[in-house]
């Protein structure tokens, strides 16, 4: 009987890759309130506000990752529906129907006249997928933080590693850049949408798979979206962009005004009827 062994250097590289991935992946928390088939929405009230923001966290994260942003929104007179959804248990299509619908229903129950959406990472793909099937008449603006709008080469390169799917769940197979990529199939956005992308990586290994600049999970180029109205890059990393003070400030500014105040902002052609600030 002959036994074929993996060369030690290759084995060590693969093991190191898994360790790096596990340490820097969007950390799964057992404290998530959502079960595998249900969604939990925490509603934060702001007195007499008629504006409500749906918050959608990223893959393998929970609503607690958006809590700092939620509290800042309330202080700025927004109601908030902070959605906790089982991102590791379903594919994109089911997640979008579960999470986006639950957030919208929570906002509508508050009798809010205007609805906004702020997303992190996978959350941006969920709202794009939902809008490909359903309209949201009350929707004013969307701000996406570090969305993989063209997929991520990290998925392409690491999807064969042991533990990768256990860490991330079935949706991860849809977030690459191949023929299975959901982001690449969704097309143009027709709502007033702004993107905030990160340019700082805390994972140099994952960055080797990405076009520079990148945030350690997604390249800036991949965050861009046909039909978007504005783009802003900040020196922050993927796991922490939703907690960054400047990112939060600029998110709220865009929701308020339809423009960023940061000097590095870029503005693009988008449907004129969506840009009330123009």
- pLDDT of 15 > 50? The answer is no
Query: Where does the pLDDT of residue 32 fall: very low under 50, low under 70, confident under 90, or very high at 90 and above?
Result: low
- pLDDT of 222 > 60? The answer is yes
Residue with the larger pLDDT of the pair 93 and 29: 93
Q: Residue 263 CB: number of other CB atoms within 10 A?
A: 6
Query: Where does the pLDDT of residue 10 fall: very low under 50, low under 70, confident under 90, or very high at 90 and above?
Result: very low
Whether residue 28 contacts residue 168, with contact meaning beta carbons closer than 8 Å, is answered with no
Rounded to an integer, what distance in angstroms lies between the CA atom of residue 94 and that of residue 238? 24
Residue 46, pLDDT score? 82
3-state SS, one letter per residue, for 239-257 = HHHHHCHHHHHHHHHHHHH
Structure pTM? 0.88
Buried-exposed string 35-44: b where 16+ CB fall within 10 A, e elsewhere? eeeebbbbeb
Summary mean pLDDT of the chain: 88
DSSP strand pairing (230-234 vs 51-56): unpaired
Rounded to an integer, what distance in angstroms lies between the CA atom of residue 116 and that of residue 81? 10
Share of the chain above pLDDT 70, in %: 85
- pLDDT of 6 > 60? The answer is no
**For residue range 56-113, what is the model confidence (pLDDT) as tens digits?**
999 999 999 999 999 999 999 999 999 999 999 999 999 999 999 999 999 999 989 9
- pLDDT of 167 > 60? The answer is yes
Whether residue 81 contacts residue 55, with contact meaning beta carbons closer than 8 Å, is answered with yes
- Between the alpha carbon of residue 243 and those of residues 36, 132, 246, the distances in Å are 26, 29, 9
Rounded to an integer, what distance in angstroms lies between the CA atom of residue 209 and that of residue 212? 9
Helices (H), 196-236: 204-207, 220-223
**For residue range 225-259, what is the model confidence (pLDDT) as tens digits?**
999 999 999 999 999 999 999 999 999 999 999 99
């Amino acid at each position: 009987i002959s036994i074929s062994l993996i060369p030690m250097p290759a084995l060590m590289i693969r093991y190191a890759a898994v360790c790096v991935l596990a340490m820097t992946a969007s950390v799964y928390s057992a404290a998530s309130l959502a079960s595998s088939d249900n969604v939990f929405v925490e509603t934060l009230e702001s007195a007499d506000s008629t504006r409500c923001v749906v918050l959608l966290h990223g893959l393998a994260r929970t609503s607690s990752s958006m809590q700092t942003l939620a509290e800042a929104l309330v202080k700025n007179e927004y109601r908030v529906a902070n959605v906790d959804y089982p991102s590791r248990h379903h594919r994109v299509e089911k997640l979008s129907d579960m999470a986006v619908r639950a957030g919208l229903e929570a906002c509508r129950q508050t009798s809010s006249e205007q609805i906004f959406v702020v997303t992190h990472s996978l959350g941006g793909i969920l709202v794009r997928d939902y809008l490909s099937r359903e309209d949201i008449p009350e929707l004013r603006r969307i701000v996406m933080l570090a969305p993989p709008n063209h997929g991520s080469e990290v998925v392409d390169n690491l999807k064969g590693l042991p533990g990768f799917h256990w860490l991330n769940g079935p949706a991860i197979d849809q977030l690459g850049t191949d023929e299975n990529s959901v982001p690449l199939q969704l097309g143009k956005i027709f709502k007033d949408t702004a993107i905030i992308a990160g340019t700082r990586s805390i994972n140099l290994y994952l960055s080797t798979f990405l076009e520079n600049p990148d945030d350690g999970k997604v390249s800036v180029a991949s965050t861009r979206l046909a039909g978007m109205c504005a783009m802003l890059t900040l020196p922050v990393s993927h796991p922490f962009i939703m907690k960054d003070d400047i990112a939060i400030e600029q998110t709220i500014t865009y929701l308020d005004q339809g423009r960023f105040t940061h000097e590095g902002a870029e503005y693009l052609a988008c449907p004129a009827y969506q840009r009330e600030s123009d």
